[in-house]
Amino acid sequence: MRKLFAEFFGTFWLVFGGCGSAIYAAGIPDVGIGYMGVALAFGLTVLTMAYAVGHISGGHFNPAVTLGLWSAGKFESKGILGYIGAQLVGAIAAAAMLYIIFSGKSDFEAIGGFAANGYGHLSPSGYSMLSAFITEFVLTAFFLLIILGSTNEKAPKGFAPIAIGLGLTLIHLISIPITNTSVNPARSMSQAIFAQGDYLTQTWLFWIAPILGAIVAGFIHKTMFDKPIEE
């Protein structure tokens, strides 16, 4: 249960901090944080919670990460459903709190995109479904390679959360204009539940592409990078 609570709180913080920065602070004229600020916010959520609870649960905070670690042989299959369930509950709880706060704004009329992910007419810059799929697949794969490499027993100790947080920041800098950046099915699902409409019907891509990318990266790491270096 300690592990599941750690995953709940970690995923809650990721959605509340990352999506919250996009909803509340990104678009304020003249003083808004913009894409760069949102990208940094997502990176900071993972960095801070990896240090806070990563030693308890491993700091997945993402169904794709859980499945990627499983494919790399770093996580047992019996824990998958519990972790993904905790991540989804944490993400949805954070989205609900974001909605409550947002709806209290004096000029509130509609929820709008609510930092949800999308492609086609829901892409921030109008990118196609294929562009979105490739982006989410490739970036999630590299995210897993960063996670697996920086947490490897041969990597420098204590620095993994920094590498992972900066990696997620870079991923957002690349892909916010394309899909609003997912690489995390729980984050996508939680926002789409409140944004609804086409955002909800497009969530399939933000489950399949990140999970496939993560699983492929797990196998790559297991077969190519996780072997003893021969003298």
Residue 11's CATH number: 1.20.1080.10
Examine the pLDDT at 111 and tell me if it is beyond 60: yes
Residue 231, in any domain of the structure: no
Residue 149, in any domain of the structure: yes
Report the number of distinct structural domains present in the chain.
1
Residue 193, in any domain of the structure: yes
Examine the pLDDT at 86 and tell me if it is beyond 60: yes
Distance separating alpha carbons of residues 89 and 92, to the nearest angstrom: 5
Q: How confident is the model at residue 38 (pLDDT cuts 50, 70, 90)?
A: very high
Domain coverage including residue 172 = 2-225
Examine the pLDDT at 220 and tell me if it is beyond 80: yes
Distance separating alpha carbons of residues 189 and 137, to the nearest angstrom: 17
Residue 140, in any domain of the structure: yes
Examine the pLDDT at 231 and tell me if it is beyond 60: no
Of the candidates 171, 134, 147, which has an alpha carbon nearest to the alpha carbon of residue 220?
147
- Answer whether 0.75 is exceeded by the pTM: yes
Residue 230, in any domain of the structure: no
String of b and e for 140-170 (b: at least 16 CB within 10 Å)? bbbbbbbbbbbbeeeeeeeebbebbbbbbbb
Residue 22, in any domain of the structure: yes
